[in-house]
Structure 1
Amino acid sequence: MEVAKYKRIMLKISGEALAGDTGFGIDFEFTNVIALQIKELVKLGVEIGIVVGAGNIWRGRSGDGMDRTTADYMGMMATCINALALQDSLENIGVNTRVQTAIEMKAVAEPFIRRKAMRHLEKGRVVIFAAGTGNPYFSTDTAAALRAAEIEAEVILLAKKVDGVYDKDPHIYDDAKKFNKLSYINVLEKGLQVMDSTATSLCMDNNIPILVFGLDKPENIKKAVLGEKIGTLVSDSAK
């Protein structure tokens, strides 16, 4: 019988991952596959919070000459599109889901209320947190770290297009070295592209481990929750 290593998790899915092989927009076939993996976790009794990025629709700094605040708010709106798409995929396979947004939009989602989010999780509902932190100059990585701390998640599962953390870009350098374990300080000192420094510091201050793994194989989500050795673990004790 499969037993989950974690009772409550924060799953951070990059926007690029939702685009699948298309590179832009939402690959609904791939999103449905991710939804099926999340359903498997729900069956195991895992309480799941999710934060989605928006890189498949909008990158905050891609507007040439655009005001940074405006660009960031556009990115927050894009995360809501991704959140609703993922919610639809989950609901279609019978997974009870709630979307909570940091920017109020009552017609499509609940506003973020911590106590309500906790209650949803306790009832076995998947909660998708959208619109980042609701503030410009903060990334969805920071939103994932913040929400993870607020819902008392045991771990952040960072699902990316790369299968872990490397000393340099493995897509460019053939000799890139993959790390199996890192400490928060290692990440900050080496300037490794795990999460941004604000998010990493927040995880360090609240002792929330970060497991970085590739979403090229959607079953990696379940493997991570079961405690199998995949990706790169960033924690206080990692050496």
Structure 2
Amino acid sequence: MSKPVLDASVTYRRVMLKISGEALMGDQGFGLHPPTVQRIAQEVKSVHDLGVEICMVIGGGNIFRGLAGSAQGMERTTADYMGMLATVMNALAMQSALESLGVFTRVISAIPMDQVCEPYIRRRAVRHLEKKRVCIFAAGTGNPYFTTDTAATLRANEMACQAIFKGTKVDGVYDKDPKKHADAKRYETVSYDECLAKHLGVMDASAIALARDNNLPIIVFSLDEPGGFRGILRGEGTYTRVQG
């Protein structure tokens, strides 16, 4: 299969797509919704077809959330490791969906589990991207107390991504919840420091600080908008850009 050549209209050559585990469960209250996984895979394929090199990090909140488990009395470190394993399950589901569309994919885990996915080796992962394989980074950073937001920002920096695309249920960053407040205003651009000071909920504080320190822009957009991911890479659509 020939490798896609980078489309002249796209803004970025290599990007990180960060989505929550909840994005994979559709209208269900728990678990994986295969049609939703397939729809997101189609969105990723549409960008891959432009020749863009794609990294992904998927949360695990649709299966297990470490912080919630800890709040219910479970020991925090154990709960976080369980959450990391949930991200591996989501990554494998996304790999299956992408490969059914003809997109070569590698799941790369921060926790070694050689029978189901590759261990994280930076140079090998970079080579996969150069070969136009989608790399899904699973198991967070491999450490408890760090979220998948921080893992996505860490891997984006290690892979020399030019931006993080944060797929959400709304089309950007608002000054308050647009689902609860009709007068909520969307930011076109917002600074890292303003996100931290106003607790805008783009990503957790560690992730935003890491992006700020490495001047890595964060693009917040709606994953529910068909063609939105592809459109934004071509300079179209509605989104918020978080930058210095």
| TM bucket, shorter chain | over 0.9
Match in the other structure for 2:231: 223
Same amino acid, percent of matched pairs: 56
Gap change, CA 1:211 and 1:112, over 3 Å in 2: same
Residue 77 (structure 2) aligned to one of 43, 65, 69: 69
Amino acid at match of 2:235: G
CA distance in structure 2 between the aligned counterparts of 1:162 and 1:137, rounded to whole angstroms: 27
Tell me by how many angstroms 1:2 deviates. Answer: 6.7
CA distance in structure 2 between the aligned counterparts of 1:153 and 1:88, rounded to whole angstroms: 24
Amino acid at match of 1:55: G
Q: Which runs of 5+ in 2 are unaligned?
A: 1-6
CA distance in structure 2 between the aligned counterparts of 1:215 and 1:23, rounded to whole angstroms: 18
Q: Deviations over 1:199-219 (max 9, x none)?
A: 000000111100011111241
Q: Does 1:10 align with 2:16?
A: yes
CA distance in structure 2 between the aligned counterparts of 1:223 and 1:200, rounded to whole angstroms: 24
Amino acid at match of 1:180: E
8 Å CA contact 2:172–2:222 kept in 1: the answer is yes
Residue 93 (structure 2) aligned to one of 81, 85, 90: 85
Describe how 1:10-159 pairs up with structure 2 within 5 A. Answer: 10-63=16-69, 64-159=72-167
Gap change, CA 1:128 and 1:218, over 3 Å in 2: farther
CA distance in structure 2 between the aligned counterparts of 1:70 and 1:218, rounded to whole angstroms: 38
Match in the other structure for 1:186: 194
Aligned residue for 1:166, secondary structure, equals coil
8 Å CA contact 1:120–1:127 kept in 2: the answer is yes
CA distance in structure 1 between the aligned counterparts of 2:67 and 2:92, rounded to whole angstroms: 23
Aligned residues between the structures: 236
Tell me by how many angstroms 1:144 deviates. Answer: 0.4
Match in the other structure for 1:199: 207
* Cα-Cα RMSD: 1.3
Amino acid at match of 1:182: V
Q: Which runs of 5+ in 1 are unaligned?
A: none
Q: Compute the TM-score of the two structures, normalised by the length of structure 1.
A: 0.95
Tell me by how many angstroms 1:228 deviates. Answer: 1.7
Tell me by how many angstroms 1:171 deviates. Answer: 2.4
Gap change, CA 1:81 and 1:218, over 3 Å in 2: farther
Shifted more, 51-60 versus 197-206: the winner is: 51-60
Match in the other structure for 2:4: none
Aligned residue for 2:22, secondary structure, equals helix
Aligned residue for 1:124, secondary structure, equals coil
CA distance in structure 2 between the aligned counterparts of 1:213 and 1:40, rounded to whole angstroms: 16
CA distance in structure 2 between the aligned counterparts of 1:225 and 1:134, rounded to whole angstroms: 30
CA distance in structure 2 between the aligned counterparts of 1:41 and 1:214, rounded to whole angstroms: 15
CA distance in structure 2 between the aligned counterparts of 1:218 and 1:134, rounded to whole angstroms: 33
Tell me by how many angstroms 1:229 deviates. Answer: 4.1
8 Å CA contact 2:92–2:107 kept in 1: the answer is yes
CA distance in structure 1 between the aligned counterparts of 2:66 and 2:182, rounded to whole angstroms: 29
8 Å CA contact 2:228–2:237 kept in 1: the answer is no
